[in-house]
Structure 1
Amino acid sequence: MSDLPRKAVTRTAKLAALPLGFAGRATWGLGKRIGGKSAELVARELQQRTADQLFKVLGELKGGAMKLGQALSVFESALPEEVAGPYRAALTKLQEAAPPLPAATVRAVLAERLGPEWRELFQEFTDTPAAAASIGQVHRAVWRDGREVAVKVQYPGAGDALLSDLTQLSRFVRLLGPLVPGMDIKPLISEMRARVAEELDYGLEARSQRAHAEEFADDPDVVVPAVVHQSDQVLVTEWIDGVPLSEVIADGTPEQRDRAGQLLARFLFSGPGRTGLLHADPHPGNFRLLPDGKSDGAGWRLGVLDFGTVDRLPGGLPETIGASLRLALAGEAESVYGLLRQEGFVRESIELDPDAVYEYLVPIIEPARAEEFTFTRSWLRTQAARIADPRSPAHQLGKQLNLPPSYLLIHRVTLSTIGVLCQLNATVRLRDELESWLPGFLPEERPEIPEQQSAPAEPATPATPRS
């Protein structure tokens, strides 16, 4: 029997207590103010208590609750600093760890899925987990051939827990809205529900990871650990050491921050074209900075983990993204509007002003305009406030735009990656990556026609066959 709180009534009760807790703290805050405490001091205490309860519950429940917490954690950069401060520490905890399952539960899963003699597959196995995530936790071990490996064990009952959590969270999604200004959380939860079966299937995850590991095997910048063994609810991959991106965000040097940001952008835009897959879970817990092994010790590579959620893009990222971005940078508002309408971002039933759409997009594409751009929390806050403010033209226009289903995951991954870049405070040469990897960003190169061949030649008169 698993120690994961997975009975529907138990999980529902814990999640249902969240909105009651929010209301109770509001009453507590009012009482403090009546008692003479300043509004600012009470607000800070209120925020801290809210953060403690929210992320304690999300982390303890794992499943969909923790998964939503991880997804939201990359957007804390969008919050005003006086609000973000109390949340940041609690959010960061969700990126790297969660309360582990007891060793006895883990051993029972391994015996069921790998066989009663499962220990013979390993030279060593560490009972204490090295990391814990939304539907599984990772143990460090040594495989029978001497390779250091990561053993990911899926929580028993994770599927039911995931669906139950996401259903319950969707019922009070409005209470979570202030965590991410300008973002509608309900579609995020719906998209997570749609991908539950894929994420629980370690066979699919193994295939996605193998595709990336093979493609990036000799890459100087990106490291993807190879798959060693896979069965239901257990996935064994090569172990990679490195500095978790959450630690780089907290304490990294400027050089580490910039390098991590550059490689993160490179992986985002290069991966789909090289593998036909988009890694769709870009929170900091899934990335590591590894020394590149060169003698000067000055470089870093990006280690990428967890391929449980991917978007299948056989042709790579849609060319429309690159073409629209290129045209927007060139100031061609009418052409951008035409492409967006063609792809369904503007519904057929409405008409918008192309110049207004262009003005909406211009601040967002600023990082692609410069030779290099420093992603900061203040920049992201400005964008979030512009779109979230009901009085702003950007907010009114944004409500009329549509996000086609085929772009939903691409959109979320892009936003999440930008959130991480802002957490890193990284200076990135984004345009370099767009020019190298994003289809449609560069205009098609047409071969020059030599001057003497500038006019089409007259077709040759076929010879008359001799009789």
Structure 2
Amino acid sequence: MADGSEENTFSGRLSRYARVSTSMGGLAARLAGERYLGMKLERGKHANDLKEALGGLRGPLVKVAQMLATIPEALPKEYVSELQQLQANAPPMGWPFVKRRMTSELGPNWSSKFKSFEKEAAAAASLGQVHKAYHHDGRLLACKLQYPDMQSAVEADLRQLKLLIGIYERYDKAVSTKQIQVELAARLHEELDYRLEAKHCALYADILKDEATVHVPEVVPELSTGRLLTSTWLEGQPILKFVADHPDARDALALNMFRAWYVPLYYYGVIHGDPHLGNYSVRPDKSINLLDFGCVRVFPPRFVAGVIDLYHALLEDDEERAVQAFRNWGFTNITREVVDVLTIWARFLYAPVMDDRVRTMGETNNGVYGRETAEKVHAELRRVGGVEVPREFVFMDRAALGLGSVFIHLKAEINWYRLFNELIEGFSEKKLTARQSKMLAKHDVPAAEAA
């Protein structure tokens, strides 16, 4: 028999879905009116209404909305502005839920497996909540419990996502988001598999074991299941608070974070796909704790090689090499005009590593950062007939923008060009293939899916 709180959660979700569907249904009518009848669509007001509807949800749709807000051209700027304000800050579920979840995962004597277990959640997110506990051996632990009914919530939320994007694409065909939807669905399903997240965590610990300035939690396998992930608790301060207290630490923190994200990518073809401020903390020695491995993306070596090939193509103004790099990224049926437009976006993304000088991340040659460039690219793509964004591009783009945003917050002044070139020196697709294959096999992590 289903417990009352899960029934209430489910019925509450149905109610909130109705609000979202009504909101999106209203958008469909207004889009049709704007397109065919010349009626004015108040996108800003509708975007705010949609944000309010989404904001009450506990579950995947909030995470999807946040993801979409960081992917340029996926949604109109009015939507991005509102969705970026969504926070995964739903209040945690109470002690009755915690006891039921822990009992179902570790058995009726679950509490005896811990020296102590805190009743109040230390953190709550869109898919689960975290409780502090102490192991009998004295280790401080983080126990992440998945909320009830998340599997069915993912399916329902992905249907809402398809509706939302489908409405917009009928109005604006500059960017086909078919592959974006495929990628988001794959990553969301992975995030519900805490056994896979445990493997990702161990993978990262191995990859970064020689990076003295980066720390990764240690999973406790005997206290982990598919819906409960127990790992060591890493103490640290939120990064912006640490910087406020130690402004001289900005550059050191940026350097540590750069290596935390890009050593795994260029050495092993793996990236942490959720680079927001809540997923790391800072220790007193300025080293960082890298947290939450639910959204990890493994790339085929040819994609990573394409990233580096495009960099060299931009440095050398080699158009043919750029075209081949975009193809390696998964763009198909691209014309010369489309390549020219994509190159505008590429030059924006690569701008910090193009000049051999100390600079902040927010600088660009034309003095514009992010949204303005995305709008220009979007308009040009609409003019040349549109493009389908390949699925592998989605999280690479999101991670680059998310991490870049963090560096802008830090106001770090670094020679990004030298940092990047030191990292990719001696790179070869063959070497990456061998390293990746060995490392993934060691940790039983699946290779990249075929495009």
Shorter-chain TM range is: 0.7 to 0.9
- 1:236 match: secondary structure: strand
Looking at structure 2, the residues matched to 426 and 395 of structure 1 have their Cα atoms a distance apart, in angstroms, of: 35
Render the CA deviation track for 1:200-221: whole Å, top value 9, x for unaligned.
1111111110121233234222
Looking at structure 1, the residues matched to 113 and 322 of structure 2 have their Cα atoms a distance apart, in angstroms, of: 57
- 1:61 match: secondary structure: coil
Render the CA deviation track for 1:197-245: whole Å, top value 9, x for unaligned.
3221111111110121233234222111111231131110111122234
Q: Determine which of 60, 71, 91 is the counterpart of 1:64.
A: 60
Q: Rate the CA distance shift 1:71–1:264 in 2: closer, same or farther, 3 A.
A: farther
Render the CA deviation track for 1:30-84: whole Å, top value 9, x for unaligned.
xxxxxxxxxxxxx99x76x964x544543432222121233246579x9999998
Q: Rate the CA distance shift 1:210–1:310 in 2: closer, same or farther, 3 A.
A: same
Structure 2 residue 155 is matched with structure 1 residue 163: yes
Q: Determine which of 150, 154, 173 is the counterpart of 2:146.
A: 154
Q: Rate the CA distance shift 1:244–1:322 in 2: closer, same or farther, 3 A.
A: same
Contact 2:270 2:297 in 1 (8 A): yes
Contact 2:16 2:53 in 1 (8 A): no
Contact 1:323 1:440 in 2 (8 A): no
Q: Percent sequence identity over matched residues?
A: 28
Contact 1:276 1:316 in 2 (8 A): no
Report which of the two structures shows the higher radius of gyration computed on alpha carbons. 1
Q: Match of 2:370?
A: 380
Q: Rate the CA distance shift 1:289–1:235 in 2: closer, same or farther, 3 A.
A: same
Q: Rate the CA distance shift 1:400–1:13 in 2: closer, same or farther, 3 A.
A: closer
Looking at structure 1, the residues matched to 77 and 248 of structure 2 have their Cα atoms a distance apart, in angstroms, of: 24
TM-score normalized by the length of structure 1: 0.72
Q: Rate the CA distance shift 1:148–1:267 in 2: closer, same or farther, 3 A.
A: same
Q: Match of 1:263?
A: 256
Contact 1:16 1:168 in 2 (8 A): yes
For structure 2, the residue ranges without an aligned partner over 5 or more in a row are 31-41, 431-451
Instruction: Look up the equivalent residue of 1:409 and give its one-letter code.
Output: F
Q: Match of 1:10?
A: 15
Q: Match of 1:232?
A: 226
For structure 1, the residue ranges without an aligned partner over 5 or more in a row are 26-42, 293-299, 445-467
Looking at structure 2, the residues matched to 255 and 176 of structure 1 have their Cα atoms a distance apart, in angstroms, of: 45
Structure 2 residue 110 is matched with structure 1 residue 118: yes
Q: Offset at 1:114?
A: 0.8
Q: Rate the CA distance shift 1:345–1:441 in 2: closer, same or farther, 3 A.
A: farther
Q: Match of 2:322?
A: 336
Q: Offset at 1:382?
A: 2.9
Q: Offset at 1:343?
A: 5.3
Q: Offset at 1:274?
A: 4.6
Contact 1:319 1:439 in 2 (8 A): no
Structure 2 counterparts to residues 247-262 of structure 1, below 5 A: 254-262=247-255
Looking at structure 2, the residues matched to 341 and 214 of structure 1 have their Cα atoms a distance apart, in angstroms, of: 32
> 62-71 or 432-441: which moved more?
432-441
Q: Offset at 1:340?
A: 2.9
Structure 2 counterparts to residues 316-355 of structure 1, below 5 A: 318-341=304-327, 344-347=330-333, 350-352=335-337
Q: Rate the CA distance shift 1:443–1:111 in 2: closer, same or farther, 3 A.
A: closer
Instruction: Look up the equivalent residue of 2:212 and give its one-letter code.
Output: P
Q: Rate the CA distance shift 1:432–1:119 in 2: closer, same or farther, 3 A.
A: farther
Q: Offset at 1:404?
A: 3.5
**RMSD over aligned Cα atoms:** 4.2
Looking at structure 2, the residues matched to 256 and 15 of structure 1 have their Cα atoms a distance apart, in angstroms, of: 43
Q: Rate the CA distance shift 1:304–1:70 in 2: closer, same or farther, 3 A.
A: farther
Q: Match of 2:101?
A: 109
Q: Match of 2:292?
A: 306
Instruction: Look up the equivalent residue of 2:138 and give its one-letter code.
Output: G
Structure 2 counterparts to residues 414-429 of structure 1, below 5 A: 414-429=400-415
Instruction: Look up the equivalent residue of 1:369 and give its one-letter code.
Output: M
